[in-house]
Amino acid sequence: MRLSVYSRSLTTMLTAVVLLAGMPALATSPPREYTLAVFPFLPTSNLEGIFAPIAAELSRALGKPVRFRVTPTYDAYIAALKEKKFDIVHIHPFDYVQFGQSIGYQPLVARTEGLSAEFSAKTGSGIRSIANLRGKQLGTPPSTGSVTYLARSALQQAGIRPQEITIRHFPNHLACLQQLQIGSVDACATSAPAARVFEAQMGIRLQRIGSSKMITHALFAVHKRVPSADQERIKATLLASKLDTMDPTLRALFIEPGSATPGRYFKPVTDRDYDPARRILKQLENR
C-alpha cells in the first residue's frame, strides 16, 4: 500500500516536470535602457561631441534611453568591457578580436572607410619614408590601439626591427601629434582624419611619409543579451544615419569625408571582416 502511494506521488511529480519542461520560458522584461561605451581614442570632450548625438539618435529609434559612457582611461574601458558592462560598444578591430568576440559582442556596422596608420613627420625634417625611421623616435596612440598595431606591422614590413626604433605611446591621436609639433618625437602614427584635423587647427602642414596596410574600420557591436529586434533597430539606425546633429568639425575628425557618400557613413560587417586584424596580431606575435 505504501509503495502504491509512493508510486502515484512519483508519477504525479514526473508528469509535472514534463509539463513544465514543455512550457515556454517566462518572458523577461525588456531592458529599460542601454549603455553605449566608446574606447578613448580622442579627448573626452571630442568623444562626447561625437557619440552623444549618436546615442540620442539610437534612443529615439529604440524608444528608450541610450546612455553614452566614456571611461577615463583605455585600461578602464577594457576592464569594464571584459565584465560585459556595456550593451553597445564602439570598439576598435584589435580589441574586438582579442576581447569582444569571445565574450558575446556581435558586429553590426563599421565606418565605411578603411583604417590605416598614417605616418607624419614635420615638414623639412628630412624624414621621407617609413624606412627613414630607423634609429628615430616614433609616437603612437596607446600600445594596444589599432593604429599602433598597424604602425608596428608597417615597421615590420619596412624591415625595421623593434630594437632599431623607439616607440613612445601617448593617450590619444591628437596628443601624439602635439608631441610631434613640439619636437618630442621624430614622427607620429595616427589615423588620417586626426592628422588632417590637427593640421587645420594648428594652421600647419605635416609631411606624410607613408601608411600601413588598410583593414576594416572600428565597429559598433552589441552584446548578445540585447534582444534581436533591438539589434536590428540599432543596425538600421546607424546605416541610415546622416550624422547631421553632430558638429561638422567633429564629424570630420570621426569620419574621413572623401571616403564615404554623405549620409552613408557606415556599412554592415560580420566577424569575418576582422580576419585581417587577426592575421596582423599573429604576425606580430611570431616576430
Nearest partner of 165 among 151, 178, 176, 180, judged by Cα: 151
Percent of the chain topping pLDDT 90: 73
- pLDDT band of 210, cuts 50, 70, 90: very high
pLDDT at residue 125, as a whole number: 94
Q: How far is CA 12 from CA 2, 3, 18, 126, 238, in A?
A: 15, 14, 10, 88, 53
Residue 27 has pLDDT above 60, yes or no: no
Residue 6 has pLDDT above 80, yes or no: no
pLDDT at residue 254, as a whole number: 86
pLDDT at residue 256, as a whole number: 73
> Does 34-114+216-271 match 117-213 in CATH topology?
yes
Average of per-residue pLDDT values in the chain: 88
Percent of the chain topping pLDDT 70: 87
Q: How far is CA 258 from CA 121, 152, 222, in A?
A: 23, 26, 28
Residue 22 has pLDDT above 80, yes or no: no
Q: How far is CA 259 from CA 96, 113, 266, in A?
A: 23, 5, 11
- pLDDT band of 99, cuts 50, 70, 90: very high
Residue 30 has pLDDT above 80, yes or no: no
Is pLDDT larger for residue 110 or for residue 194?
A: 110
Question: pLDDT tens for residues 140-153?
Answer: 999 999 999 999 99
Residue 26 has pLDDT above 60, yes or no: no
Query: Average pLDDT in the 105-111 region?
Result: 97
| Domain 34-114+216-271 fold | D-Maltodextrin-Binding Protein; domain 2 (3.40.190)
pLDDT at residue 2, as a whole number: 41
Residue 97 has pLDDT above 60, yes or no: yes
Q: How far is CA 72 from CA 80, 172, 179, in A?
A: 12, 12, 21
- pLDDT band of 28, cuts 50, 70, 90: low
Question: pLDDT tens for residues 230-269?
Answer: 999 999 999 999 998 999 888 888 887 655 555 689 999 9
Q: What are the boundaries of each domain within the chain?
A: 34-114+216-271, 117-213
pLDDT at residue 3, as a whole number: 41
CA atoms within 13 A on the CB side of 263: 1
Q: How far is CA 244 from CA 24, 33, 47, 114, 284, in A?
A: 44, 24, 16, 22, 39
pLDDT at residue 277, as a whole number: 97
> What is the CATH number assigned to the segment(s) 117-213?
3.40.190.10
Say if residues 114 and 260 touch (Cβ distance below 8 Å): no
Q: Report residue 278 as a C-alpha cell.
A: 587577426
